[in-house]
Amino acid sequence: MERVTTKTKILSPSYPYPKLLFQCLMTENSIQSQLMIRIFIKEGLVCLNMNVAIGLLLFIYLVSPDLDLVEIIQEKLNEFGLEIINNPHVSLTRTIVLQFHWINRFISDLISKLKSIEKFTITFGELEVFCNDNCTRTFVGFLAQPPELLLQCVEQLDGVLSNYNLPKYYEDPKFHLSVAWCLGDQSNHLRTRLKNIAFEFDVCRMLRVDKLMCKTGNKIFHFDLV
């Protein structure tokens, strides 16, 4: 089952493109001639010069419904000058580039792997500060617990990714629901500010996970758990 969305996600030029993309593009001849290849992202498409699309950005996640917990903390973090994340989610893969001719088989493989996973419940714990791989953005989010339940999903997803020679998820990941972000590495500053503020939440912190989502380009695929 798939649902097409019209929302476009614009990624900044500092977005860390997966190494696999450059390995596919930078041939020996192009390196020797020092040819510069212009790459940009448009509506989830990975494009070259002349708007030639070569693949799709893809990542797999579980979505958070509207929680009072998220709304409360976002109001406070917005006062700190952080940008609010409109569609909070818990990532279960890195953002990767998938070639067009792989898409149908890739989705089919995901269905086969995920059909053995049962529905489960996670709880959102304390606020944590995270920084992306190249330290261009800092995020604030809730830790998702227990990690063992999410690791069972990652293990199945990593199995599929490895069949396509795509990067697996991080080792010893800290699963989290990001709710706000800012530019640059502001992790130390934000950790200090969060320590000095007492947050009291008398609201639901639990999320029943009955499906995973996969975003490819401008399409979203749903994978129901058993």
Residue-wise pLDDT tens digits, 165-223: 999 999 989 999 999 999 999 999 999 888 876 666 666 788 999 999 999 888 899 99
For the stretch 118-164, pLDDT in tens is: 999 999 988 899 998 889 999 999 999 999 999 999 999 999 999 99
Task: Spot the catalytic one: 101, 176, 189, 222.
Answer: 176
Global pTM value = 0.75
Quick one: 209 exposed, middle or buried, by C-beta within 10 A (0-12, 13-18, 19+)?
buried
Q: For residue 198, what pLDDT is reported?
A: 60
Range 78-100 burial, b when 16+ CB lie within 10 A, else e: eeeebeebeebbbbbbbbbbbee
Confidence of residue 20 (pLDDT cuts 50, 70, 90): very low
Asked about 89 being catalytic, the answer comes back as yes
For the stretch 38-78, pLDDT in tens is: 444 444 545 545 455 556 888 999 987 777 888 888 988 99
User: Which is more confidently placed, 80 or 84?
Assistant: 84
Q: 204 is written with which tokens?
A: 């639901």
- Structural domains counted in the chain: 1
Domain CATH for 68: 3.90.1140.10
Could you list the residue range(s) of the whole structural domain that residue 175 is in?
2-224
Confidence of residue 26 (pLDDT cuts 50, 70, 90): very low
Q: How far is CA 196 from CA 9, 26, 70, 182, 192, in A?
A: 34, 49, 19, 19, 7
Q: For residue 16, what pLDDT is reported?
A: 41
Task: Spot the catalytic one: 89, 101, 189, 222.
Answer: 89
Asked about 101 being catalytic, the answer comes back as no
Contacts of 176 (CB under 8 A, 6+ apart): 90, 128, 130, 139, 141, 142, 143, 144
